[in-house]
Structure 1
């Protein structure tokens, strides 16, 4: 795995957005400087281990999702879909699942396997 400050920043930013928190709200909960948190999210700074643990606890994130990411986890479209799925009811998720199956079954071009 290659570590990237930008990937870490995106991981934290997406977690914050999932909790509908502003940077200011998260910085306050962490007792952290707002501009420092902003720089972490932009990939310009790396949080200390203590701060990283505080972030994942407050945002209820799994460090495994950062350390062992899915191949699509850094994809912004993928992250947007995950955020929207969390807002759907069980019935709506079932409808979306059926639609996804239909799209995959009827696509014209099959994706190239890595």
Structure 2
């Protein structure tokens, strides 16, 4: 169980750092004790389901990515993009979609094993 706690703590810490939040800032947003949050990130405490859900929401993390890690788990660029997308406006999302389509249509080499 310690492995799962450490994995959860790392998942939360990475999400917090992706948004450039300090532990203090996140603890304030969550209305929880700073030392408790630090212990969650270190795998020493397990958050309640309610707190877990609030953390996922505030950090724009996918609980599904934590519960069912997939092949993108080690690709931090992919995970950062997924976490940042909810912050985009509909217009920005359309721009990103069109840019992605253009990149894929015009790349010189097609990957043999796409992500």
What TM-score do you get using the length of structure 2 for normalisation? Answer: 0.62
| Cα drift, residue 5 of structure 1 | 5.4
Give 1:18-29 correspondences, 5 Å limit: 22-27=22-27, 29=30
**2:38 equivalent in structure 1:** 38
Which structure 2 segments of 5+ residues have no match?
none
**Aligned: 1:55 with 2:55:** no
Higher relative contact order (CA 8 A, sep 6+): 1
Residues in 1 aligned to 2:84 and 2:54: alpha-carbon distance in whole angstroms:
21
Give 1:1-114 correspondences, 5 Å limit: 7-16=7-16, 22-27=22-27, 29=30, 31-34=32-35, 37-38=37-38, 40-41=40-41, 44-48=42-46, 51-59=47-55, 60=57, 62-113=62-113
What TM-score do you get using the length of structure 1 for normalisation? Answer: 0.63
| Cα drift, residue 99 of structure 1 | 1.0
The number of aligned residues is 107
Q: CA RMSD in A?
A: 3.3
Residues in 1 aligned to 2:51 and 2:21: alpha-carbon distance in whole angstroms:
12
Which structure 1 segments of 5+ residues have no match?
none
